[in-house]
Amino acid sequence: MSPIGLNHFLALGAVLFCLGTYGVLTRRNAIAVLLSLELMFNAVNLNLVAFARFMPNLDGVVLAVFVIAVAAAEATVGVALVLSIYRNFRHIDLDQVDTMKG
């Protein structure tokens, strides 16, 4: 059996990213959608850290630190928006948050 290499990490990252995308597209609960978004961001982190491990420098880790910070900010705004949805609709079922039609 070959040792675990870069491709294993990248494959895991790709699977996580696809799971996240699937979750965003199919979940109805707003919190679950936020969780799926986090999954997508963390797939990127996994990629970056894996690349950094197999590169001569640490640039990838620096990138990942920034991504974590940005993901945290996104989550904050996302939860604020979920609250605003709840205040107006009394539920957070995104399928029913669709009043505009064109």
Partner 1 sequence: MTNALTMLQALAPEVVVAATAFLVMGLDLRRNPNPRAQATVAIWGLLAGALATVPDWLDTAASNSALTLWGGIFVADPLSVVFRALACLTGALVLLFSIDPIDTERRNPGDFVTLVPFVVLGLMLAVSAGELLTFFVAFEIVSLPLYLMAAWNRNERGSAEAGMKYFITGSVSSAVMLYGISLVFGTVGTTFFSQIATRYETLADPPQAFVLGSLMILAALGFKIAAAPFHIWAPDVYQGAPRPSAMFISTAPKAAMVAVMLRLFWGTLALQGRDFRLAETWMVLLAVMAILSMFWGNLVALAQTDIRRLMACSGIAHIGYTLLGVLAASRAGAELEGAAAAIYYVVVYSFANLAAWGVIVLVGWRTGSDRIQDYSGLARRSPFLAFALLISLLSLAGAPPLAGFLGKFYLFRALWEAQPAWWWMVLIAIVNSVISLYYYFGILKPVYFGAPQDQTSALVVPWRFRAGLLICLAVIMVLGLFPELTRITLEAGAAILAQPGAP
Nearer to partner 1, 1 or 13 (CB): 13
Q: Measured between alpha carbons, how far is 77 from 82 in angstroms, rounded to an integer?
A: 9
Tokens 């880790």 identify what position? 61
Query: Does residue 90 bind partner 1 (CB under 8 A)?
Result: no
Q: CB-based contacts of 101: which residues, under 8 Å, 6+ apart?
A: none
- Contact residues: partner 1, CB under 8 A: 10, 13, 17, 20-21, 24, 30, 33, 37, 40-41, 43-44, 47-48, 50-51, 55, 59-60, 62-63, 66-67, 70, 73-74, 77-78, 80-82, 84-85, 87-89, 94, 97-100, 102
